[in-house]
Amino acid sequence: MTTLRELVAERAARCPHRCFLADARSERSFDFAMLHTAAEAWRRELDAAGVPPGARVLVEVEDPLAFCAVHLAVIAAGRCSTPIDPAAPPAETERTRRALRPWLVVSDRATIPGMQVNPATGRPASPAAPIPGAEPADRGPGLVALLTSGSTGTPKTVVLTEHQLLHAAQCVVDHHTLSATDRGFNPLPLFHINAQVVALLATLLAGGTLVLDRRFHRTGFWQLLVERGITWVNAVPAILSILALEDIALGDIPVVPPGLRFIRSASASLPVTARERVAARSGVTVVESYGMTEAASQITATPLHGGHPPGSVGRPVGVELDVVGPDGRHCAPDVVGRVRIRGESVISAYAEGVAAERFDAAGWLDTGDLGRLDAHGYLYLAGRADDVVNRGGELVHPQEVEEVLLGEATVAMAAVASRPDEVLGAVPVAWIQPVQTLDDEQTDELVHRLRVRCERHLSQVKRPVEFRIVAGLPRSATGKVLRRQLRELLIPDTRCLAVATR
Write a three-state SS string for 352-381.
Answer: HHCCHHHECCCCCEEEEEEEEECCCCCEEE
pLDDT computed for residue 499 by the predictor: 42
Does pLDDT of 127 surpass 90? Answer: no
In this prediction, residue 137 carries a pLDDT of 76
User: Could you read off the pLDDT of 366-387 as tens digits, one per residue?
Assistant: 999 999 999 999 999 988 887 8
Which range is least confidently modeled, 203-207, 262-266, 430-434, 456-460? 456-460
Q: How far apart are CA 98 and CA 101, in angstroms?
A: 5
Q: Taking the alpha carbons of 125, 45, 17, 214 in that order, is the dihedral positive or negative?
A: negative
- The alpha-carbon radius of gyration of the chain (Å, integer) is 23
Q: Which residue has the higher pLDDT, 210 or 254?
A: 210
Range with the lowest mean pLDDT among 30-39, 114-123, 295-304, 424-433?
424-433
Q: Does residue 496 surpass a pLDDT of 80?
A: no
Whether the pLDDT of residue 493 is over 60: the answer is no
Is 393 a residue whose pLDDT tops 90?
no
User: The pTM is what?
Assistant: 0.84
pLDDT tens by residue, 155-199: 789 999 999 999 999 999 999 999 999 999 999 999 999 999 999
CATH superfamily to which 388-487 belongs: ANL, C-terminal domain (3.30.300.30)
Q: State residue 1's pLDDT score.
A: 59
pLDDT at 254 over 60: no
Look at residue 57 and tell me whether its pLDDT is greater than 50. yes
> Would you list the DSSP string of 240-274?
HHHHHTS--EETTEE---TT--EEEE-SSPPPHHH
CATH 3.30.300.30-classified regions of the chain:
388-487
Three-state DSSP at 143 gives strand
Name the 3-class secondary structure at 239.
helix
pLDDT of 149 higher than 60? no
Residue 382, amino acid: A
pLDDT class of 482 with cuts at 50, 70, 90: confident
Q: Which one, of 5, 144, 142, lies nearest residue 79 by Cα? A: 142
Q: How far is CA 288 from the centre of its chain?
A: 12
- For 424, the enclosing helix (H) or strand (E) is none
Can you tell me the mean pLDDT for 384-412?
A: 85
pLDDT exceeds 60 at position 150: no
- Where do the CATH 3.40.50.12780 domains begin and end in the chain? 216-385
Residue 491 has pLDDT above 70, yes or no: no
The alpha carbon of residue 467 and the mean position of all alpha carbons in its chain are separated, in whole angstroms, by: 28
How does DSSP classify residue 407?
T
Local confidence band at 497 (pLDDT 50, 70, 90 cut-offs) = very low
pLDDT for 269 beyond 80: no
More confident site: 51 or 421: 51
Closest residue by Cα to residue 21 from 40, 5, 38: 38
**How does DSSP classify residue 295?**
G
Domain 216-385 belongs in CATH node 3.40.50.12780: yes
pLDDT in tens, 211-230: 999 999 988 999 999 999 99
CATH code for the structural domain at 4-16+25-158: 3.40.50.980
- Per the model's pLDDT, the better-predicted residue between 485 and 42 turns out to be 42
For position 495, what pLDDT does the model report?
A: 43
Please state, rounded to an integer, the average pLDDT across all residues of the chain.
88
The vertex-317 CA angle with 222 and 271, nearest 5°, equals 45
Torsion of CA 217, 220, 226, 230, to 10 degrees: 0
Which residues of the chain form CATH 3.40.50.980? 4-16+25-158
